[in-house]
């Protein structure tokens, strides 16, 4: 067995062999398309804000890309999650099942609804919720009342399951959809990281009743800040539009609103960027897949670590390339993060699992050994689409 120092050195070299010398960020966007032209069009027409042709076009392009019937562009991925939960009819006091191993925005969005995150465990194969263990947990702890799922210990309704597709890798959607249906909870897909990823032939975010996307600066495509709600249900799509546009009733001049609602619209200038970025999606995806192949070769044979591969039968966007340390190498996570960042190779661990964060420590949770273990063993490595150019 090699020394720890040697393994760390090998990992740094493997990354260097792919990304070259110099400072390398984790993920930066590439603007090689019509970004300039479309943004200039916004400035020339003065339509930079909440009304504009690029918002409509971006929403339409997203449906074309994802196969969802409807897409509603919003100001960021967190806003998309918030709206998705409201569309699922999550009410104050409800519980929402959510993996502990995801970005904190998902739990925050549940908090905005005055509902409670209820953490469930992940599986090592997909990094998504483990459907089999979830099913056993719900069988043991819930009952059905008026066709809703009720937590027997709290008496609260478990209204929805939010499935995150971690780093763009598809969770086991068929099995999770079956569990959601069996227990009468709404399936929401947090596909923030998963534009361009497919579960078999279905784009992520289109299997659940509602899906969400993010276009933050570090995502596969960016709008500066932005997100979208996907659904095949026309009523929910209309409701999403209404809720994100301060519930203003249509009228040529009158300002009348029929609900407590939100200012979550994506500005036209951000949508313009999105339209141009979306045109280059297949280039980005190809580039990310090539990067994956290059890393696979580079990491081949290094002991204690493996490069993460898309689940069988699925197609991942390989948003963030990821290495997973073997269990008896997890003590190397910090040294690897230290060594890589020190030489200007930006890397990061997975999120601290949410049940370990101060604001969510007291939340309900099943046993979470896999989330905890993965949290200690995952490292994201540089993944920009233009990195090998």
**Could you list the residues that contact a copy of itself (CB under 8 A)?**
28-31, 35-36, 39-40, 43, 46-51, 75-79, 103-105, 107-108, 111-112, 114, 216-218, 222, 224-225, 246-247, 252-263, 265-270, 273, 337, 341, 347-352, 357-359
- The residue (of 136 and 257) whose beta carbon lies closer to a copy of itself is 257
Count of other CB atoms within 10 angstroms of residue 1 = 8
DSSP for 312-347?
TT-B----SEEEEE-GGGGGGHHHHHHHHHHTTB--
- The residue (of 3 and 255) whose beta carbon lies closer to a copy of itself is 255
Least separation, in Å, of the C-beta of 374 and a copy of itself?
14
Q: Which residues pair with 265 in a beta bridge?
A: 74
- Yes or no: say if 185 and 97 are a contact pair by the CB < 8 Å rule: yes
- The residue (of 211 and 385) whose beta carbon lies closer to a copy of itself is 385
Tokens of 310: 């898309």
- The residue (of 39 and 195) whose beta carbon lies closer to a copy of itself is 39
Least separation, in Å, of the C-beta of 96 and a copy of itself?
14
Least separation, in Å, of the C-beta of 266 and a copy of itself?
8
Strand ranges, E, within 204-344 = 210-214, 227-231, 305-307, 321-325
CA-to-CA dists, residue 364 to 54, 150, 239, angstroms: 42, 14, 30
- The residue (of 255 and 389) whose beta carbon lies closer to a copy of itself is 255
Burial class of 300 by CB neighbour count within 10 A (0 to 12, 13 to 18, 19+): exposed
Least separation, in Å, of the C-beta of 334 and a copy of itself?
10
Least separation, in Å, of the C-beta of 379 and a copy of itself?
9
- The residue (of 36 and 293) whose beta carbon lies closer to a copy of itself is 36
End-to-end Cα separation, the chain, in angstroms = 36
- The residue (of 202 and 248) whose beta carbon lies closer to a copy of itself is 248
- What's the CA angle centered on 226, arms 188 and 31, to 5 degrees? 125
Least separation, in Å, of the C-beta of 91 and a copy of itself?
13
Separation CA 210–CA 188 (nearest Å):
5
8-state DSSP, 78:
H
CA-to-CA dists, residue 199 to 174, 194, 312, 382, angstroms: 9, 10, 10, 24
Q: Which residues pair with 157 in a beta bridge?
A: 150
Least separation, in Å, of the C-beta of 339 and a copy of itself?
12
Separation CA 27–CA 226 (nearest Å):
17
- The residue (of 85 and 209) whose beta carbon lies closer to a copy of itself is 85
Strand ranges, E, within 146-266 = 148-151, 158-164, 186-190, 198-199, 202-203, 210-214, 227-231
- The residue (of 58 and 137) whose beta carbon lies closer to a copy of itself is 58
8-state DSSP, 118:
E
Least separation, in Å, of the C-beta of 231 and a copy of itself?
21
Least separation, in Å, of the C-beta of 257 and a copy of itself?
5
């Amino acid at each position: 067995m090699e020394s720890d120092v040697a393994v760390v050195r090998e990992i740094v070299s493997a990354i260097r062999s792919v990304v070259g010398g110099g400072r390398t960020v984790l993920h930066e966007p590439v603007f090689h398309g019509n970004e300039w032209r479309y943004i200039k069009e916004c400035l020339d027409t003065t339509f930079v804000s909440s009304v504009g042709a690029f918002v409509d076009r971006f929403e339409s392009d997203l449906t074309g890309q994802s196969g969802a019937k409807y897409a509603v562009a919003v100001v960021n991925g967190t806003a998309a999650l918030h709206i998705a939960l409201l569309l699922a009819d999550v009410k104050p006091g409800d519980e929402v099942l959510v993996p502990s191993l995801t970005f904190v925005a998902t739990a925050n969005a549940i908090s905005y609804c005055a509902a409670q995150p209820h953490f469930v465990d992940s599986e090592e194969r997909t990094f998504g919720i483990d459907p089999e263990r979830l099913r056993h947990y719900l069988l043991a702890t819930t009952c059905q009342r008026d066709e809703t799922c009720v937590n027997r210990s709290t008496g609260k309704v478990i209204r929805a399951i939010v499935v995150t597709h971690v780093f763009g890798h598809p969770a086991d959607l068929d099995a999770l959809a079956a569990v959601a249906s069996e227990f009468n909870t709404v399936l929401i897909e947090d596909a923030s990281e998963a534009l361009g990823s497919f579960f078999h032939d279905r784009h992520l975010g289109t299997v659940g009743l509602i899906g969400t996307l993010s276009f933050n600066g570090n995502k596969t495509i960016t709008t500066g800040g932005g997100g979208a709600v996907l659904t095949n249900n026309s009523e929910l799509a209309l409701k999403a539009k209404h809720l994100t546009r301060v519930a203003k009733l249509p009228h040529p001049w009158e300002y009348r609103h029929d609900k407590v609602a939100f200012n979550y619209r994506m500005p036209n200038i951000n949508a313009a960027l999105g339209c141009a970025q979306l045109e280059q999606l297949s280039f980005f995806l190809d580039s990310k897949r090539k990067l994956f192949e290059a890393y696979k070769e580079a990491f081949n044979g290094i002991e204690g670590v493996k490069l993460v591969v898309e689940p069988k039968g699925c197609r991942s966007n390989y948003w963030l390339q990821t290495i997973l340390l073997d269990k008896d190498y997890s003590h190397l996570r910090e040294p690897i993060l230290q060594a890589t960042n020190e030489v200007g190779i930006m890397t990061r661990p997975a999120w601290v699992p949410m049940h370990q964060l101060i604001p969510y420590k007291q939340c309900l949770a099943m046993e979470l050994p896999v989330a905890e273990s993965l949290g200690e063993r995952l490292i994201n490595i540089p993944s920009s689409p233009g990195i090998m150019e």
